[in-house]
Structure 1
Amino acid sequence: MARRDLTGAVDFGFLEDFAAGDAEVIDEVLALFREQAAMWSTMLDATSEGWLDAVHTIKGAARGVGAFALGDACETAETEGAVRLESVRVALQAALADVAAYAHERALQSLKTPRG
């Protein structure tokens, strides 16, 4: 997986600008997003008592990393109800795939960049 695999689910330019290009901050934010996604995924079920809280939390985190389509899907689920949870799950998976491709590309670049 590499940058060529990005779907556009995450605007990494937004994240890079927000983090002022600080690679360590970018990596940390994306690692936290990935870790939290595992927890959120289990709550994205209409039978889960906390699905609405999960959707609200995901919305903020998504917009913070530049996953605007995911944030919008969450906002729709907040207003239209659990019937929209599938679109949140799909958008979350797309965002996670893009994050994985981006992280992979960054790891490859770090191998190519000489350390001085």
Structure 2
Amino acid sequence: MGAVDFGYLEGFAAGDRKVISEVLALFRQQAEAWAGSLDAADPGWRDVVHTIKGAARGVGANVLGDACADAEAAGPSGLPAVRTALEAAVADIAAYQARS
């Protein structure tokens, strides 16, 4: 399995390809903005991680959601794992969209 469980999202969206496409496009757009805030020097990093966690769980990016939960508990030392998982989720989504 990849970084995103697309079966979860497809089931949640009842297979509506338009909804799935819109949700994934929005996630990718948001990911660009989130990436810049995943820095311990950014005072809002914890809020961003919490937001990413919810969005990740919503699209089936459970590895990213777990990395975010870990970072919330561990503090800034967890941010590299969040960045890595976010990059993997975005890459997986891009590949999925290219196939669709």
Pairwise same-fold verdict (TM > 0.5): yes
TM-score, normalised via structure 2 length: 0.98
Show the 5 A alignment for 1:1-116: 8-106=2-100
- Pick the structure with greater CA Rg: 1
Shift of 1:22: 0.2
Gaps of 5+ in 2: none
Shift of 1:95: 0.3
Provide the aligned length of Structure 1 versus Structure 2: 100
Runs (4 or more) in structure 1 with deviation over 4 Å come to none
Give the secondary structure class of the aligned counterpart of 2:7: helix
TM-score, normalised via structure 1 length: 0.85
Shift of 1:74: 0.1
Shift of 1:43: 0.3
